[in-house]
A and B are shown apart, each in its own frame.
Chain A
Amino acid sequence: MDFSLSKKEILFLQMIRAFAEKEVKPLAAEVDEEERFPLETVEKMAKLGIMGIPFPVEYGGAGGDNVLYSMAVEELSRVCATTGVIVSAHTSLCASPIYEFGTEEQKKKYLPKLCSGEWIGAFGLTEPNAGTDASAQQTMAVLEDDHYVLNGSKIFITNAAYANVYIVMAMTDKSQGTRGISAFIVERDFPGFSIGKKEKKMGIRGSATCELIFENCLVPKENLLGKPGEGFKIAMKTLDGGRMGIASQALGIAQGAMDETVKYVKERKQFGKAIGQFQNTQFQLADLDTKIEAARLLVRMAAWKKDRKMPYSADSARAKLFAAETAMEMTTKAVQFHGGYGYTREYPVERMMRDAKITEIYEGTSEVQRMVIAAALLK
């Protein structure tokens, strides 16, 4: 067993931390305040290869792995959770399923553009009546000649307003239940496809979360991802990877809140001494630090198993469950440690607290993660 970082990982952390500190952090408050998608940051990340970390060089990727990708999402989220989820949704939910389930033609067509960041990716599964019960899909796809015709809508789609390509689930054969769901690669300018209303959210406010609308949307037959009826399986496998990404995001948020809190309790003086000198502060921080480190081990292990093509579905669920709940606890306590200042936008911890909440909800709520873990346990 080896818990040390490789030289390559150390070098990667050096780069991504510097990038996060200098390029991402200065925009974080503004992106949140103005609900602005940080397109300029995406362009900078694209240039460095951050939009295609775990994919092979032959498809335009950086030739890295999921451990590096997870570190990237963590470090970006440490300073700006919006930026973290943009990368996570793009990589795990769009590029990844194309890489894992796509034909050679599909990979050659889409991956270089996605990996280079020329195109941004998104993923459409959730519908107004299909949330945790993702099998209740109402979006329909009917094959007519050489096109599928899609009708319906998807909601809460991260990156939606700025994406160029979407992985979309739709029912091709309702009688088959979940086995009647198929996955499609939809491009932004396909006829009949449009972006609906933008959500006003509590946190990760820059991530451009919108509705996707399909009105007789024509999708070429060759844009079917996988075989007809494999959509649900593809969605579930994709979410295994996505959860590892969101777990990394939650971990980053927790670490960011811890960084701010450590700085603050060393400086803030009450009753004549720094509040970090009170044992109440110390014990609470020690517990939180332990949880963050435990979350980090879970996250890294999930990524490490994915890299080795080992089953990691339950690992990913555990990592997301624990990291998300740790992020929520850490950020809530961070606000408490900051007192009145923490409740104002002068300090970033209130933003982190708002950002943290979503990690317990999207890509499977904490309850769904418990279902996945229990299912693996009791099978």
Chain B
Amino acid sequence: MNNILKEKDFIRRIEEISNQKIYDCYQCGRCTAGCPFAKFMDVPPNQVIRFIQLGLKDDVLAASGPWFCAACLVCQTRCPRGVDIPRLMEAVRMIHLRAKEGLIDVDKIDKEFLLDAPPLALMSAFSKYTY
């Protein structure tokens, strides 16, 4: 019973942050098919969504998929069910970041790159990867 409550809690939290209905997804896989970065992910977008539907919190939070999402919105454009998948990926990232678990340590970024990269690359990455 406790576990079921935890699962429902997790699903509700994702739905609140993303403002998406998680069961709208019927797993056609079109998001993953068009995702330019799916090949770098251990768990691709449609499977991340499946894990959320099943309330598999630990598996979702361990997946690299959401961190590889560049918010390019190709999947959002093509989803036949109107699911805004990048918002779901952001919700997973937000659960990490709000628990103070960032992906990158700003001090460890290569100095040469820091001087060379345009500010919007860094600002974007910091907003997605740091808390």
* A and B: bona fide binding partners: no
